[in-house]
């Protein structure tokens, strides 16, 4: 982790619209000068950026169920809404990681494949599994009274690993979005962790222990894999960490409320 720039506060409310502007396609007005100056310091707000797609997805899913459509159809519609809001940013990262990590024979080739906009067999399989598992779990959650708090908790907790990964290991490239943002200092990572834990405690306290354990294990596994395969993290690895954490979060919460 890097040391914090003492000239910048650890928390600034302008970081929230900056995070939403970075992680979604929503037309949010962002002070680009300030956002550039704060860079990785604003990463504490990344988990909060997940609330917007979560609420939109829940709204679409509930509307579909109210219209008499099946829970699975409603779940697919909720997923579509979330993906449209985020621009499939995290799904793209998952597909690139799957293609690169298992399609390349050495570090340079893996990084080259991950940068390629074309998708391969590993990426397709990863996306099918991700969408299928998430839709299956969402079809259960949308039919319960815990749907909205569950989706918010999952959205927040699944974006925390992006901050932790970025702070824990260096960037594998000398360029790219993740490299430009820089490595968040320890205080930023702790702040993001505290906000995520507080959100879970308020909305679904019973889920906190399992989320900590299983999301933590998933993040540690991806961290070790990324270090072994490419020597660090990239924006694609961060996106993949969100997808893995979201699937884990959905599984944990469905097991508690179903």
Of the pLDDT bands very low, low, confident and very high (cuts 50, 70, 90), residue 192 is very high
Domain boundaries, the chain: 88-257
Sign of CA dihedral 83, 88, 89, 91: positive
CA distance from start to end of the chain: 39
- Over residues 42-60, mean pLDDT: 96
Residue 138, C-beta contacts closer than 8 angstroms, at least 6 positions apart: 57, 61, 74, 75, 78, 79, 151, 250
pLDDT of residue 36: 80
Is residue 9 over pLDDT 90? no
User: With bands split at pLDDT 50, 70 and 90, how would you rate the model's confidence at 37?
Assistant: confident
Contact 47, 192 (CB under 8 A): yes
| Residues found in the chain | 258
Q: CA–CA separation, 234 vs 170, rounded Å? A: 9
Confidence of residue 6 (pLDDT cuts 50, 70, 90): low
Q: What is the pLDDT of residues 194-246, one digit of tens each?
A: 999 999 999 999 999 999 999 999 999 999 999 999 999 999 999 999 999 99
pLDDT band per the 50, 70, 90 thresholds, residue 175: low
pLDDT of residue 177: 60
Note the pLDDT of residue 85: 97
Alpha helices by DSSP H, 87-146:
89-103, 107-115, 121-141
At 100-124, the pLDDT tens digits run: 999 998 999 999 999 998 999 999 9
* Alpha carbons 44 and 41: distance in angstroms, whole number: 7
Q: Which residue has the tokens 């002070």?
A: 31
User: Interior CA angle at 230 toward 226 and 232, to 5°?
Assistant: 60
Distances (CA, A) of 107 to 74, 162, 228: 41, 21, 9
DSSP-derived 3-state class of residue 132? helix
- Sign (positive or negative) of CA dihedral 225, 153, 40, 33: positive
Which pLDDT score, from 0 to 100, does residue 38 have?
A: 80
pLDDT > 70? residue 155? yes
Whole-angstrom distance, CA of residue 124 vs CA of residue 24: 22
- What average pLDDT does the structure give for the chain? 93
> Using CA atoms in the order 179, 41, 87, 144, what is the torsion angle rounded to 10 degrees?
140
Q: Collect all residues with Cβ–Cβ distance below 8 Å to 20 and sequence separation of at least 6.
A: 26, 28, 49, 52
pLDDT score for 106: 93
pLDDT the model gives residue 67 = 96
pLDDT of 14-28, one tens digit each? 899 999 999 999 998
pLDDT score of 66:
95
* CA angle (32, 37, 38) in 5-degree steps: 100
Query: What pLDDT, on a 0 to 100 scale, did the predictor assign at position 182?
Result: 76
89 vs 257, higher pLDDT: 89
- Residue 152 pLDDT > 80: yes
């Amino acid at each position: 982790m890097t040391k914090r720039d003492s000239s910048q506060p650890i928390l600034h409310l302008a970081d929230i619209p900056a995070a939403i502007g970075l992680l979604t396609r929503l037309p949010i007005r962002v002070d680009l000068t300030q956002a550039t100056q704060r860079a990785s310091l604003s990463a504490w707000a990344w988990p909060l950026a997940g609330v917007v797609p979560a609420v939109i997805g829940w709204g679409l899913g509930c509307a579909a169920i109210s219209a008499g459509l099946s829970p699975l159809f409603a779940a697919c519609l909720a997923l579509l809404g979330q993906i449209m809001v985020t621009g499939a940013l995290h799904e793209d990262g998952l597909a690139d990681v799957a293609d690169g990590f298992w399609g390349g024979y050495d570090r340079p080739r893996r990084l080259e494949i991950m940068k390629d906009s074309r998708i391969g067999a590993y990426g397709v399989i990863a996306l099918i599994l991700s969408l299928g598992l998430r839709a299956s779990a969402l079809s259960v959650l949308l039919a319960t009274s815990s749907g909205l708090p569950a989706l918010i908790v999952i959205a927040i907790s699944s974006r925390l690993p992006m901050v932790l990964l970025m702070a824990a290991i260096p960037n594998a490239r000398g360029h790219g979005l993740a490299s430009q943002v820089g490595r968040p200092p320890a205080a930023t990572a702790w702040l993001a962790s505290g906000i995520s834990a507080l959100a879970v405690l308020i909305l679904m306290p019973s889920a906190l222990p399992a989320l900590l354990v299983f999301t933590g294990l998933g993040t540690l596994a991806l961290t070790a894999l990324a270090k072994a395969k490419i020597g660090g993290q990239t924006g694609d690895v961060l996106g993949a960490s969100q997808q893995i954490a979201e699937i884990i979060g959905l599984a944990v919460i469905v097991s508690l409320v179903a």
